[in-house]
Structure 1
Amino acid sequence: MTCLRLPATRPGLTRLAELIRQGGLVAYPTEGVFGLGCDPQSRASVEMLYALKSRPQAQGFLLIGAEVSQLEPYIDTDRLGAQRYAEMRASWPGPITWVVPRSARTPAWLVGGHGGVAVRVTAHAPAAALCRAAGTALVSTSANPHGLAAATTVEQVLAYFGESLTGCSKRRRAVSGVRAVRWPRPGCAGRRSS
């Protein structure tokens, strides 16, 4: 496979989105590091991503979207409850990741051994634009082999994965830090952690 190095422009973004829709794995800048992404409905793509990262499939992946509507098919809103759903929606777009009950339509290969699914509506303009261009939520994970530091530059992404990726944004650095918050599942004792 050849990794297309695409400029961080509208045509480059459009081509990355096409690669995602065709089952490709792409690298793109996120809030703090480069991310790897693919179509969450493509089992083959998700399995390639697990293999590429040497990530245990029991861990599952995060889904990001540009709008709540891109994530709703993956969320069991009845089990989540109206109050938590409203709280979650009010926190987005932003850096908060919620672990919520997954819908029956959520593929098992996305969540590993978990009953929930991690979701976030990103406020990061390039990542949101990629979701919009692809027309779907994206599997999103840091660009690094399991256990190694996440890539913050295109050069690091290519050093880790070389030609194993289908496409890569040529933006040189990810732009800022992010702190994700994992909330306890409804009905579970516990407190917010950061």
Structure 2
Amino acid sequence: MSIFTWLLDVAIHNAYAMYQVIIAVVNGHAATDGANDREVEVSAPKSLREAKEEIVNLLVAAQHMHMQSLRHRANHREPIEDIVGSDQSQHMLTRSRGKLLCLLCSIRGGKNRVKYACTRCRRGYHAECFMAIHYKHMMSENAAVMDALNVVFLTTSGIPISKTRHRQNSSIIEPCNIELPKLVIREPGSSIRKRRRISPAV
């Protein structure tokens, strides 16, 4: 037993002893209370072992609930028919034929260039920066992202400052021209994987 666990065990012993004394005093006053004319008893753990078990249960209860919540979210998957077409936003992250300056990084003072852009904003974004800008409400538990966004919006008074692009950016691939990735298909009995492109329906 380490010094820390020994001190913890001593603290629990002392707390249990004090608790027993307090319970005895409370029950003694309740038994002689003439206002209610009835005996009121406060129960206490019967043994030191039970007291330790109650302390452990209280300490791990919050973590247990957190783990249950994580398991529930992991097992809960929406049907594909509920996902397809559920997002009506016109902001889409797509590839760009050329490298563009990431909007969020440029506001923060960076010069990062990316191969992805938003079809509605007409600006370049990292996937992470696109999520932070367009889905801020889902970032509430990410302290680092929220701090960065708050600093950006406070600095720019709520309106991101960026250079106006007068020329239409033709490098951003439009939604109507997006092609699905090639499928990687492994044929039976073959170690060679072949790629096949899905042709759009006419």
TM-score category (smaller protein) = under 0.3
Q: Which one has more relative contact order, counting CA pairs under 8 Å at least 6 apart? A: 1
**Normalised by the size of structure 2, how large is the TM-score?**
0.19
Q: Which has the higher strand share?
A: 1
Higher gyration radius (CA)? 2
